[in-house]
Amino acid sequence: MELARFHRAIHVIHSDISNTEIETKLTRLISSLDQVAASPGNQDYAKVFREQLDDLRSSLNSSSLNDPEDADVAQVIEDLSLEGHVGTGFARRILKAITQNQLAPQAASAELTKLRDEVFGKLRLISSVDSAFTTLQVDYARLDGGEGEMRIAVPFASETHTLEELAKEAREWDKICAAISEAFDPERTPVTVRTVSTGSLLLYLAGTPAFIWGVSKCLKGVNSILGEVIKMRKLYGELVKSNVPREALAPIEQHNAGKAKFDLDALATTIIEEHYKGNDEGRKNELRNSLSMALQRLARKLADGADVRLRLTAPKKPKIAEGVEPTPEQVAQIEAADKVAALEADVRLARVQLEYEGDNQDLIAALPAPQTE
């Protein structure tokens, strides 16, 4: 991962740790538990302990680190094995320490103290790295207002693949992005490479808000289709195991064989009819075919393990003094900011990322064969 992106991810984790005050709340909880242990029959102490536990669990369960919108943050949490140190993962460990020692408050207190020291010993290192990066003025990856970004994690084994295969992978994604961009972005602004990171192959593409929103629509539709394909193939497998007669299975087999292509073609048609703004009917039909092939490519990429994440940032609105009428330019800026903010919210709500591990080969077999334009 690029250092500037690592800096941003570390800072987001550090900020969540600081803002939620989890260490302080856990220390108070341990103190309350010690009071319960010293006075077993004191209902007031028991009540305070329960309230503090509820507050701590609420803070952890509502943490932004549970399901980060920024894929880089999620990757750093996974790479540094922080799943049990933040959010719901940490909440589960706290609750486990208490329930396993519910008849022995002193033992529970000792376990929580040990857990606190382990977790925050590691999290303090995160905070130190963030502070050091800031002091050293390490670059910090930011999206300016109105910018969009598409992050593609490509399942690509660098030790065995060639440059030619890497170029082919890039061309495949270029065709996917080109069709989506033309369908959703009237200006057809080029989708450009912002960063390429190594480790696993990560492609960061810069795109307009309209393009990012379009990709989110396509991802949601394709994931829905892939989910249905898996469901139907599993149902077919259960029927085979149940010794359903072959003649009864034949219509289902025929339906499954063409379902993915039919649904992807239908999705392409719907998208073009709803979002293409051009007046050239000939180009509209060509784009429908191009988009259908792009969606088929996208489906195969997702089935093969590619992970696509999107980010979109709305521009800031101009500051207008109370009682002052905005200028026409400011009105235009406000309208543009509101439009991008609506797209940003839609992208966030449409974020669906299914994992097809274990179903990859079945999915690929059910998808249309790769096509050439």
Domain that holds residue 38: 3-135
Residue 371 included in any domain: no
197 & 105 share domain: no
What integer pLDDT is reported at residue 356 of this predicted model? 63
Q: How far is CA 219 from CA 109, 135, 165, in A?
A: 47, 40, 24
Residue 156 included in any domain: no
Helix axes 209-241, 246-275, angle to 10 degrees: 170
CB 144 within 8 A of CB 58: no
What integer pLDDT is reported at residue 223 of this predicted model? 87
**Neighbouring C-alpha atoms within 13 Å toward the C-beta of 237:** 8
Residue 164 included in any domain: no
265 & 130 share domain: no
* Residue-by-residue pLDDT tens, the chain, 373 positions: 677 888 989 999 999 888 888 999 999 999 998 998 888 888 888 899 899 999 999 999 989 888 887 778 888 898 889 999 999 999 999 999 999 888 888 898 999 999 999 999 999 999 999 889 888 888 887 777 778 888 888 876 656 667 788 888 888 999 999 999 989 888 888 888 888 776 567 888 888 888 888 888 898 888 888 888 888 777 767 777 777 777 776 776 666 667 888 899 999 999 999 888 877 888 888 999 999 999 999 988 888 888 888 888 877 888 887 778 888 888 888 877 888 777 777 777 666 555 666 666 777 777 777 665 5
103 & 194 share domain: no
Bridge partners (DSSP) listed for residue 206: 149, 192
What integer pLDDT is reported at residue 354 of this predicted model? 58
126 & 199 share domain: no
What integer pLDDT is reported at residue 304 of this predicted model? 83
CB 72 within 8 A of CB 202: no
